[in-house]
Amino acid sequence: MNIVILAAGQGKRMRSDLPKVLHPLAGKPLLQHVVDCARSLGPRRLIVVHGHGGEQVREAMSASPSGTDLLWALQAPQRGTGHAVMQAVAQLDDSVPTLVLYGDVPLTRRDTLMRLIEAAGPDKLALLSVDLDDPTGYGRIVRDAGEIVRIVEHKDADETTRAIHEVNTGILVAPTPALKRWLAGLSDDNAQKEYYLTDIVAAAVHDGVTVASAQPAAAWETLGVNSKAQLAELERIHQREIAMRLLDDGVTLADPARLDVRGLLACGRDVSIDVNCIFEGEVVLGDGVRIGANCVIRDASIGAGTQVLPFTHIEDSTIGAGARIGPYARLRPGNALGDATHVGNFVEMKNVQMAAGSKANHLAYVGDATVGQRVNIGAGTITCNYDGANKHRTVIEDDAFIGSDSQLVAPVTVGRGATLGAGTTLTRDAPPDRLTVSRAKQFTVESWKRPQKAAKAAK
């Protein structure tokens, strides 16, 4: 099928220089949600009609792997939804139906669209409608003996029509040759001087084409974004749905309302997540993982039984089973930590490979390092990996002990079983199984006296 996504609107009520369809929901643009859903249907042609901020929209979507082969149509000026679809007509394949979606309606599910496509079949016009408790402002679906005969906009409806609760969402499927014919017959003879896509319903009825319908499982699937308030509302709806799926899968959430998933989160059995946690990109949590409150985890894999304590940030890292991370730890990109490792409070790591059983329990920076098994890195330790121009690597072999307040000036190697005394500044390799100390000799100045404040002069 052809899929046309209308994404040309300015979004004045957003009060932003960013085009409306690029505002993020769950970490990705509104339009990206619609494109991803559309792609799941396997379209023959996928066309985005852009207008306001068009180049910015194209650049943003082209940067995504799923946006590189999109077809584009420019709507300038913007003269209504019918006019928008007209801009895509030249790129439509007549041999398949056309589905029309909206770039600011991000939560429509694939299953809903499949029902709509099935309702349309090869030769019907099918509308996605929804029943609303308060349909104010929406076009009403008017039926005669159960058959859809027209859509009446709210401002044009009489009291009887306004009592109808079934409304038009704008999403539709039509046979493409007929759609082209109906679009060509649209008129802008209205107060707004625009071409309305809804007017094709009357044209279809006039041609004797059946107008079918389908409804979503939930009304929120059809909600659009026209303001920051509506964007926030849809964010909460989306996050609530994710939370409910996690609960159904057996994940324990301390508070489903205080969870944000901005990507894909896969959880094993008996996973528990405390409040105010954010998961971005692709995150995998193994069986029995416990995530403490206020953690931010991005593009990470965390092994079974690992505890991530509160206020920890993890990015682009893998952590083995039975590890203990945090609180207040920061794992920057490139870390691979083995089983039963410990990274404690106020420890920062970047591009570190740490083998099983090793620990950096507090107040350390470890960067560009290879750490063996059963290594203890004391408090205040720093790997001095950057010389101002280039990064250098530190190697700490199995069973080494790094005393507190040590500086390892890379490139340097600490041999297997070596011990560094506290306060050591290591600039050459430390041999295995030996104590290495670099420290100024301690002495006491017997004649020294602490300075005293000078007496104030009398006035």
Query: Which of 95, 89, 99, 91 is closest to 43 using CA atoms?
Result: 99
Eight-state DSSP code of residue 77: S
Is 165 designated active site? no
User: Which amino acid, 440?
Assistant: A
CB 214 within 8 A of CB 222: no
Measured in degrees and rounded to the nearest 5, phi and psi for residue 368 equal: 50, 60
- Alpha-carbon 435 to chain mean position: 49
- Alpha-carbon 417 to chain mean position: 44
SS3 101: strand
Helix (H) or strand (E) holding 177: helix 176-184
SS3 452: coil
CA–CA dist 265, 284 (Å, integer): 6
Q: Please compute Rg for the chain using Cα positions.
A: 31
CA–CA dist 293, 254 (Å, integer): 9
- Active-site annotation holder among 23, 313, 362, 392: 362
CA–CA dist 368, 410 (Å, integer): 9
CB-based contacts of 448, cutoff 8 Å, min separation 6: none
SS3 360: strand
Task: Spell out a b/e string for 80-109, using b for 16 or more CB atoms within 10 Å of the CB, else e.
Answer: bbbbbbbbbbeebeeebbbbbbbbbbbbbe
Angle at 202 between CA 201 and CA 208, to 5 degrees: 90
Burial class (CB in 10 A: 0-12, 13-18, 19+), 449: exposed
Burial class (CB in 10 A: 0-12, 13-18, 19+), 308: buried
CA–CA dist 330, 88 (Å, integer): 48
CA–CA dist 72, 34 (Å, integer): 15
Tokens of 274: 């405390």
SS3 213: strand
CA–CA dist 455, 356 (Å, integer): 62
Instruction: State the catalytic residues.
Output: 362
